[in-house]
Amino acid sequence: MRFDVLTLFPELFDAARVGVTGRAFRELGHQLEATSYRPFAGNPFGHVDAAPFGGGPGMVLRPDVLRDALASLPRRGTGRVIHFSPAAPPLDHAKVLELAALDQLILVCTRFEGLDQRAVRLCVDEELSVGDAVLSGGELPALFLIDAVCRWLPGVLGNEASAAADSFATGLLDHPHYTRPAVFEGLEAPAVLLGGDHEAVRLWRLREAMERTRALRPELWRAFLAQRLEALPRTDQWCAWQAEHPEDRGRAKPRGWKGWKYSLPIPPGSDKL
C-alpha cells in the first residue's frame, strides 16, 4: 500500500511512523509520502489559496494547485483520491476494509473553507469525514484513516486476531477489558475471566459486547439483529436474548430452546413466525 498525502503541513505525518501501525512503513515495505502544496503555488510567495468568489470569510484552495500536485505523484495499481470534508459521509469499518484492499490512497487535506468545487468534481474520487465536527484541516482525519487502514494490512499487528476482534469488525462494539491487578481500588475484575474456562470467557465477552452495543449504539444493535444474529449458534443467540431481556441475565439457556426467532411473541393473527 502506498499512502500519498497532499497538505500544507507534511511534518504532521511523522506521527504515522511511530507505534504499532508505523511498522507498516518501518518494516513491511508500505510507503507514506507527504507532499506540500507550496511548490505548486505558481507564485514566489507560496500562496496556494484565494478568497472565495462572492465574498465571505476564509480562503479556498485553488483548483490548479491540486491539479498540479496530483500530477506530480506516481500512481500505483488500484487507487483512490480522497478529500476530507465535514459535509461528507463518515468513515466507517466497511469503508476501511474497502480502502485496505487498494494499492494506493491519495489523501487531499485542505484548510479554512476547503477546496474549490470544480477540483472536487474533476480531481477527487470520494469525500469522507470523521463525524459531525469541523476541524481546522484534513490532516487529523488523514492520520485517522491511515491508522485505521494500516491495522488491516497483513503483518502490521503482532496478533492478526486483534483487528478481527476490534469494535465493528463483528458488527458489535468491543467488550470491556481487564488486566492486573485483580482488585483495584476495591473493584474486582470479573471472576469468569480468572477461572480458566475459555468457553465461559468467550460467552461473557460476547454478552458484554452485545449489551454495550445495545446501550451505546442502538442503530448498530438493530443492524446486528437483522443481519447477523440468525447465523449464530444458539448459545450465542441466547446471549443476544439476554442483552434484550435483562431479567434473564443470570439464567442458563433453557434446555430445548430453539433460538431467537422462535422465542419472539407471535403477532396477532399469525400462525407462525
Question: Measured between alpha carbons, how far is 157 from 182 in angstroms, rounded to an integer?
Answer: 27
State the catalytic residue, choosing from 33, 64, 68, 113. Answer: 113
- Is residue 113 annotated as part of the catalytic site, yes or no? yes
- Is residue 190 annotated as part of the catalytic site, yes or no? no
Report whether 23 contacts 156 (CB < 8 A).
yes
Cell numbers representing residue 189 in the block: 475484575
State the catalytic residue, choosing from 86, 174, 228, 248. Answer: 86
- Is residue 188 annotated as part of the catalytic site, yes or no? no
Q: Which alpha helices (DSSP H) does the chain contain, by range?
A: 23-26, 63-71, 93-100, 117-123, 139-150, 161-164, 198-216, 218-227, 234-244
- Is residue 86 annotated as part of the catalytic site, yes or no? yes
State the catalytic residue, choosing from 33, 68, 147, 166. Answer: 166
At residue 235, φ and ψ (nearest 5 deg) are -60, -40
At residue 82, φ and ψ (nearest 5 deg) are -120, 130
State the catalytic residue, choosing from 151, 205, 207, 214. Answer: 151
Give the pairing type, strands 31-36 and 2-7: parallel
Residues 6+ apart with CB under 8 A from 177: none
As annotated, the active-site residues are 86, 113, 151, 166
